[in-house]
Structure 1
Amino acid sequence: LKSLYEDYPKLIKKVNGEFIFKIFFLERSKKKKTQKVSKMEYFFGLKENGADTMIQIYNYYVSNKQKKHCPNYSELFKKMNVTSKNPCILILDNELSVKEKPLKNLLNYMGIIDGCKIAELKEKCYLNSTSNLYVATNPLVNELKECEIEDLFEEAVLKTELNGKTFEKSEKAFNDTRNYGKRALSKYVWNNYDNINFENFRPLLDAIDQIVTKYNH
């Protein structure tokens, strides 16, 4: 967004050299040393990592799931005549063709198995689940059948060496003595965004932009 900010004024703006995001990112705060769990996990069951967090968020939108301590806030607010001001967007890697992957598991849990809905997600990179809750995913690139968001970067970025280490996204193949992971890559991208090509990210950013535009009209 910082690199392409001029093309997405509804999502970000630049004022006096400073970027101001118009969208907000959920920060799953880490627990403090004196805490057994983080506040997000204690109050909402949202753990720091893990795809189950997406399912847990969805649980607060429905009443017909076998779930514990997850009130249907969406229905509750409707009864109070309170409308959500903004959409809530769950962004997952595009692994639709692979069973037991987060996106496929989430869609199955939501009951989204209709071919038309799946085709819509493939075409638009997003779909509306319920109320103000949306699911978005990155596009497929380089003829890949499944695509993690890191795959959207050019090969030169993924081959960048940091402190003598190379990038490895696979947890099974990762070796701490010779590899760095996704967190280190994200920090590198954050610090060097003005020298990186983000064209492959446009379909995902377009999807977010369309969601925000449609929801606010």
Structure 2
Amino acid sequence: MNILMRKNAYYPSYIKMFNDLGGGKPLNPVILLFDNELQNKNKPLSKICNHINLSDNDKDILKLNLNLYLTENLYLLTHQLVGESKENELEDLFKDKNFIKNNR
């Protein structure tokens, strides 16, 4: 079952509504990429997971696979953790810290 098609009393299923109006499925994937900060409740990845009511099982799948199919063409992605870290930003994956500094 895709995650976002679950009934939510707070907002309508826009995906279903657009599919009904448009008569077809989206052609291209939409990828939501977040820093791997699932353990920190104040960070965006944790907040989006809670907002869309991800189950503990879905969060475990995200931790293991670093991606999760949400619905239709929508995917949630994060990146691997560095070393023994419990959370990392994408920039932490670059060995050359000057690369980030010089390319902002």
- Bin the TM-score by the shorter chain: 0.7 to 0.9
Aligned to 2:37, what secondary structure does the other structure show?
coil
Give the match for residue 93 of structure 1.
35
Is residue 117 from structure 1 mapped to residue 62 from structure 2 by the alignment?
no
Where do 5+ consecutive residues of structure 1 fail to align? 1-61, 163-181, 189-217
TM-score (normalizing by structure 1): 0.40
1:144 pairs with 2:85: yes
Structure with greater Cα Rg:
1
Q: Match of 2:73?
A: 132
Opposite residue 27 of structure 2, the aligned amino acid is K
Distance 1:132 1:104 in 2: 21
Letter in 2 for 1:125: L
How far residue 115 of structure 1 moved from its aligned partner, in angstroms, is 2.1
Q: How does 1:176-187 map to 2 (within 5 A)?
A: 184-185=101-102, 187=103
Deviations 1:12-36 (A, max 9, x none): xxxxxxxxxxxxxxxxxxxxxxxxx
Q: Which has the higher contact order (CA 8 A, sep 6+)?
A: 2
Q: Does 1:83 align with 2:35?
A: no
Paired residue secondary structure (1:151): helix
Structure-2-length-normalised TM-score = 0.79
Structure 1 position 65, deviation (Å): 2.7
Counterpart of 1:131, as a letter, is E
- Percent identity between matched residues is 33
Task: Rate the CA distance shift 1:71–1:128 in 2: closer, same or farther, 3 A.
Answer: closer
Which whole-Å CA distance do the structure 1 matches of 2:72 and 2:57 have between them? 19
Count of residues in correspondence between the two structures: 97
Kindly report structure 1 stretches of 4+ aligned residues shifted beyond 2 Å.
62-66
Q: Which runs of 5+ in 2 are unaligned?
A: 1-6
Contact kept? 2:25, 2:72, Cα under 8 Å: no
Any idea what SS the aligned residue of 1:90 has? strand
Q: How big is the alpha-carbon RMSD for the aligned residues of Structure 1 and Structure 2?
A: 2.5
| Equivalence map 1:1-217=2 (5 Å) | 64-66=9-11, 72=14, 74-79=15-20, 80-112=22-54, 114-154=55-95, 157-158=96-97, 160=98, 184-185=101-102, 187=103
Aligned counterparts of 2:60 and 2:8: Cα–Cα separation in 1: 27
